[in-house]
Amino acid sequence: MKRCEWVKLNEPLYVEYHDKEWGIPVYDDQHLFEMLCLEGAQAGLSWWTILQKREGYRVAFDQFDASKIILYTEDKLQELRQDSRIVRNKLKIASVVTNAQAFLRIQEKHGSFSEYIWGFVDHQPIINEWSSIADVPATTEISDRMSKQLKKDGFKFVGSTICYSFMQATGMVNDHIVGCICRSEGSVNEN
């Protein structure tokens, strides 16, 4: 069985993420918010590092409940900076609070974050036809536009590369290479 070349085949957690999550459309606001925050945490690191810490992030950040996160005090942020379950970068931790505030404003303005974010791809997943991981771009015109708008709307750690990774992770873009066992998967992740 062939999988995308980036998957660590000897790591069940990585295989499960690739097979059951990456590239599958997600429309749930809270899960989209979680993935945006996790992709931001990845900046300068590997996705494998963040994937291994994902459960720790969920506990540390109240399951990515934005309405709880916006209430974090300086004491809570200091506590998070000491939490070994997450990447203890002061700016990345603070960005989750900033992003929670922006996320709630977007929900109020657009009815849902999903409606807003999926608008960048006209509410339809982009299905690419890459033969090799080497063909997959790090950014696109759409991720550039998304990054610019997210920043304008108050989000942090949302550069174009992060936005493109987010699009891949949430199925806005399907970049499973041609021949990958997940290539024909078209199911929707309700989470």
From the candidates 17, 22, 27, 164, which is the catalytic residue?
17
**Which of these, 156, 173, 176, 174, lies nearest to 43 by C-alpha position?**
156
Q: Is 100 helix (H, G, I), strand (E, B) or coil?
A: helix
Answer whether 76's CB lies under 8 Å from 93's CB: no
From the candidates 14, 22, 39, 164, which is the catalytic residue?
39
CB atoms within 10 A of CB 37: 25
> Which residues, in sequence order, are CB contacts of 60 under 8 Å at separation 6+?
80, 83, 85, 86
At residue 50, φ and ψ (nearest 5 deg) are: -70, -40
At residue 43, φ and ψ (nearest 5 deg) are: -45, 120
**Which of these, 160, 139, 140, 138, lies nearest to 149 by C-alpha position?**
160
From the candidates 14, 22, 27, 47, which is the catalytic residue?
47
Q: Is 39 a catalytic residue?
A: yes
CB atoms within 10 A of CB 20: 12
Active site residues: 17, 39, 47
